[in-house]
Amino acid sequence: MRIGTGLDVHAFGLGDHVVLGGVRIAHDRGLVAHSDGDVVIHALCDAIFGALALGDIGTHFPPTDARWRDADSRDFLRHAAVLMRESGHVLGNADITVIAEAPRLTPHVQAMREILAAIERHDPRAQLAFDIYLHRLLREIGSMLAVLGGADALVFTGGVGENCAPLRDRAAEQLKFLPNLRVLVIHAEEEWEIARQCYELQTGAVPT
């Protein structure tokens, strides 16, 4: 059994529809993309190619190749399916999420520290856990970027975002396609903020 993960991010731009999972959906904005910008199929293709150790979707369908201009992403998926069958594998399950929410990082601080320590010991399971967490983080950041149509700055604060430089570095590297994106780290006292809000809810007073 092999497992792959995929991620795709496109900013909103001019247009009157988006394509998701091969379905054209009317919308007041389109997606900026070389092909049809189908993030669902692109992420699935990336997962398949990754599981087969065959690179990513950009390896097979580079955005610099004019042949793929406005291409139907379902053709990309058909290609991935052929390669999968030729390698003797079948798709057992695919869990695809399209979401626009920001993650809370604080609950994962200790686990991330342990994983990073294990990575330093060259533990392959720890490296896999780190890569999966990074993928989930990028998925959430990407969904927000798509909703906002881009960003001027990426702000890490509290929990893992504040205390895990390797995670910040990897995330920033994956997002370098965004022009002039600034990466900031802001110190936060999330526990005090949680305590303050609980105090206000219970007493109706603002703590001094």
Q: 16-29 pLDDT, tens per residue?
A: 877 777 777 777 77
Fold designation for 12-86: 60s Ribosomal Protein L30; Chain: A; (3.30.1330)
Mean pLDDT of 124-148: 79
Enumerate residues 6+ apart whose C-beta is below 8 A from 66. Answer: none
pLDDT bracket for residue 105 (50, 70, 90): very low
- CA 53 and chain centroid, separation: 19
Give the pLDDT mean for 181-194: 77
Q: Which pLDDT score, from 0 to 100, does residue 110 have?
A: 58
The predicted pLDDT at position 140 comes to: 84
* pLDDT given at position 32: 82
What's the pLDDT band for 168 if we cut at 50, 70, 90? confident
Same fold, 12-86 and 106-196: no
Q: Angle 29-49-31 (CA atoms, 0-180°, nearest 5)?
A: 5
The CA–CA distances, whole Å, from 122 to 8, 64, 68, 119, 167 equal 28, 36, 39, 5, 17
Give residue limits of the domains in the chain: 12-86, 106-196
As assigned by CATH, the class of the 106-196 domain is: alpha beta
- Structure tokens that stand for 11 in this block: 């900013």
User: What local confidence, expressed as pLDDT, does residue 101 receive?
Assistant: 36
Amino acid in position 92 = G
The strand ranges marked E within the chain are: 12-13, 17-20, 23-26, 30-31, 153-157, 182-186
* Contact by Cβ (8 Å): 14, 35: no
User: What average pLDDT does this structure show over 153-162?
Assistant: 77
